[in-house]
Chains A and B, each alone.
Chain A
Amino acid sequence: MNSANIDNTVVRPKGSVKAKLSRDDIIMRGGMIVIALYLVISLVFPLYSMFSKSFSTFQYDLSKFEVQVSDDAGQFSPEITNLQNLNEGLKVIPDEELSTGSGGRLGATIFFPDFSFRSPVMYRIRNVDGQGRFLVGSTLMTGTDWQEMDSNTFRRVQLRPVRSTGLSNFINYFSTPALFKSIQNSIFIAIISTIITVILAFWFAYALNRSCMRFKGFFRLIAMAPILVPSLLPGIALVYLFGAQGVIKGLLFGASIYGPIGIIIGSVFFTFPHAFLIISTALAISDARLYEAAISLKASPWKTFWTVTIPGARYGIISAAFVVFNLVITDFGLPKVIGGQFNVLAVDIYKQVIGQQNFEMGAVVSVVLIIPAILAFAIDRVVQSKQVALLTARSVPFNPKPSSRADFIFTIYCGLVGLFIIGMLGICQFAALIKFWPYDLSLSLNNYQFDKMDGGGWGAYYNSIKMALLTALIGTCVIFFGAYLVEKSSGFKTGRAIFQMFAMLPMAIPGMVLGLAYIFFFNNPENPLHIVYGTMAILVICTVTHFYTVSHLTAVTALKQMDSEFESVSASLKQPTFKLFSRVTVPVCLPAILDIAIYLFVNAMTTVSAVVFLYSPKTSLASIAVLNMDDAGDIAPAAAMGMMIFYTNIFARVIHLILSKGVLRRTQAWRSSN
């Protein structure tokens, strides 16, 4: 038989074989749907509520109300007055002040300049149609019947606004120069901080990867320290260093630390480890053969640097820049402490929501803040995917050669950066132990009597530990299991793609925005999930979601390194996938699982932005306590609490190290073999 004939005569029959699902398939798809639902509830719905809130406007529609006023004897004339007409005549409220928030209330007496609650005059008020609403005391009136009342009762009549959808919140926002200026401020400090951090981190990483200087391990440790404290802490440190009574305020030549200078120095401090890690990874994978080629071509070190080193690390540098930009522009703690009158977007959200209870405007600022955050995130993802391609190339590791002069310069440089980091932390610890800065420098533990301060006391500290442990435990389980399902299940392509998208989304959402979105979603009395509002549960859910993406990517990377045929083999051996998962997948991925747990723990200890809207008096957290104590002027106790977070995180990291090294040595004997 000739194959050429088959091709012409046989056409593929229509329809296709529908797979019969095994029990494991059903369980895995079910599990994926459950975790996807978790992400929908903890991320997509809240964000949707926030977006819709930003487009909701509330306005007093005066034409919807009619009143009648009696004479002193209580006799009503037949004349009916529409409030709109009344206002046009009296001009008590200019038109632009008729817009308000969802909770807006307007006393009806304002339209009657000669109103007195003692007068015998009687009032009647009604809604023109079903859209009008007003309160008498706390009773909501929606009907169109006349409500008749004496003047003392009329005093308690309050008009309610009408809700509509539109862009007026945004128009309002962009026409308020004070708010609009924040965009400029935020972008300004983010760009300056990014440039400084990336340059500092690049040379630090370069020194550690490309020189033969000593104490590399020590410097690496120091570089990572800022990750262990809330971003508020560098702010507090700067107050002690450069504030009104600062130790070295003279260095600023009269400039104030409260404002852009403080925010930028603090941002460099807390974003340094992130930039260092990314650039260090990029520099570590460079190919020695390129340098050998450069030497053989007699290129000068300067030329080699620009033609080999920088291009090799360019994705790392770009990626680090966008990560730092994103961290700075979305950070709330630092500008709150040290920003002074210099407004930035993240603080605006806080001020609008907590200070002015203007939730709609808070939502508008959130939407504005999301745009640069998402842009930076998207560019970073594109760049990172290119970095991966570079990693897979086969290359010969680069081994630096000793050079006494360069090594000396690098040691000095790293020493200075290290001094900056240690100095910031040291001054906080010092201030925390001082009786009364700067007048009584004797040591005391008074500042650790948190229970005597605002902010939640020691209870907040224990809450933080509880929250961090729960986040690490629940988050690790949910995230690793979710990553496993999406990575190792078969078929169900669309479902998996949607899941991946949900898992990547949290990284693009600033913490403040997430927290505010949670208020809108979970604090809605009509939402059955309302019960978690104000509990520890919502803090844990919010924190897990906030830090979902990085943990998810860690898990996916570990799972990708496993043989893709394990599931096939297990199925052919007729063993449940769960057995493979517990006996092979989890033990092999244990290092990654522990990494996820410590990442979640440390971040849960230091996070401020997402949870600042969600804590209740019973569930205050250590990082929130730092914020509130600083707000109340108790700066030394704030520093003390901040350092407690630092030590707790160091302790957690040590435990993590012991677990990784010790326990793994026993369970992973197979790794060291061969």
Chain B
Amino acid sequence: MEGIKDPQSSYLSIKNLWKSFGSFTALKDVSLDIKEGEFVCFLGPSGCGKTTLLRAIAGLDLQTSGAVVQGGKDISNFPASERDYGIVFQSYALFPNLTIEKNIAFGLENTGRSKSEINERVSELLDLIGLPDQGPKYPAQLSGGQQQRIALARAIASGPGLLLLDEPLSALDAKVRVYLRHEIKTLQQKLGVTTIMVTHDQEEALSMADRIVVMNEGKVEQIGTPNEVYCKPETLFVADFIGEMTQFRGTISGKSLVKVGNTELNMVEHRFSQGREVSITIRPEDIIPLGAKLPAKSGKNVFSAQLVEMEFLGSFWRCKLKSDEFPEALVTADFSVNAVRRLSIEPNQILWIELPSESILAFDFQAA
């Protein structure tokens, strides 16, 4: 995990957070820092503790131990109402009997603002979320996506220092979700508000976040930019959870060599000692198809394999390859439509493929 390089730049610090529900431990020693204006996603499978962490930050379910520091102030045991944040839930939680305007104005009242100031702010927010004429309607009269934008407007109305989004897009259908993804990201950049979003959808996290916190079983697996967690996963879990990959069992046989099945693979330099058992992964899109004939000029890690299965997924083909070199498992490879056409790849043919050494990653061995 990243240490604090410059304490001034850290807006929110989570320090050694633990949370237990009876004998179940939902958070295990979680620490992280979030910089001002950053968009951070908590990503993980259900039950990994990401929502528990968010609720601890919000003061809705207090952690068992550990500290939360926001803007230099230790708010570890503060009640929700004394913290500085706005929150959006998956269920929107719009007040059904209040109009859209009244919903947005709810948090602006009792804050010393005059009626006209409140009205002005509400219409400003309605403009901001692109729903300028919906003020007098009731929530039930709007679509799910519109309701979610209203919930967002209500959360940011009084200009909180922190915006918390708890699976905000999960209840929406696919098209609206992609649209709102973009919408929320743009809004966040415009406002510059530090934002934490909880999601189990990796695509959502990869496309929206400045940094992703990948969580599993109550622990932080990795913190990094979308590119880092995708291309340089630090644990097998991260490699497996984000994106597709094929996993082999291997034994370290050299400084940049690993023995897999009946062959030896070249890879970049690793940290493992000789003879160590490891899990080897490669992503399907990294596998390069070379064609039916072995080209004259070919690199390392080139094998022939039988194409046992081809599945058309629109922009690419997902292929399962069987090779005598790796009898243990089928290799999954994604070939672009273009490459398949160019190399006239067909089901059941024998195909030469290359596994680029920089795409091969090694982790402590875990049974797949």
Contacts and interface: CB of A to CB of B under 8 A. Distances in A.
B138 A673 contact: yes
A22 interface: yes
Nearest to A572: B87
A668 B97 contact: yes
A10 B80 contact: no
Interface string A327-367: 00000000000000000000000000000000000000000
Nearest to A668: B97
Contacts, number: 135
Nearest to B80: A571
Interface stretch (A118-126, A539-547, A560-568): A560-568
Given A12-B25, A584-B98, A17 B87 contact: no
Nearest to B151: A569
Interface of B is mostly: loop
Interface stretch (B63-71, B260-268, B304-312): B63-71
Interface in A91-126: none
Contacts of B137: 673
A668 B96 CA distance: 9
A17 B219 contact: no
Nearest to B238: A3
A490 interface: yes
A2 interface: yes
B89 A7 contact: no
B69 to A, nearest CB: 13
Given A20-B78, A25-B79, A588-B97, A568 B58 contact: yes
A586 to B, nearest CB: 10
Contact of B77 (A17, A669, A670): A17
A573 interface: yes
Interface in A529-569: 563, 565-566, 568-569
A674 B107 CA distance: 26
A254 interface: no
Contacts of A674: 140-141
Contacts of A668: 97
A217 interface: no
B109 A7 contact: no
Contact of A571 (B62, B79, B95): B79
Q: Which of B28, B96, B364 has the most CB of A within 10 A?
A: B96
B77 A583 contact: no
B93 A569 contact: yes
B91 A563 contact: yes
A1 B1 contact: yes
Interface string B53-65: 0000011101111
B221 to A, nearest CB: 6
Q: Which of A13, A21, A23 has the most CB of B within 10 A?
A: A13
Contacts of B28: 6-7, 10, 12
Interface of A: 1-4, 6-7, 10, 12-13, 15-25, 490, 563, 565-566, 568-576, 579, 583-584, 587-588, 667-671, 673-674
23 contacts: A4-B364, A7-B28, A10-B28, A12-B28, A17-B62, A17-B63, A18-B77, A19-B62, A572-B86, A572-B107, A574-B81, A574-B111, A574-B158, A575-B107, A584-B95, A584-B96, A587-B97, A670-B140, A671-B96, A671-B140, A673-B140, A673-B141, A674-B140
Given A573-B107, A579-B109, 17 more contacts: A6-B219, A7-B28, A13-B16, A17-B63, A20-B78, A20-B82, A21-B79, A22-B81, A490-B60, A565-B89, A565-B91, A568-B80, A569-B154, A572-B80, A572-B107, A584-B95, A668-B97
Shortest beta-carbon contacts, A-B, top 4:
A573-B107, A22-B79, A670-B138, A571-B80
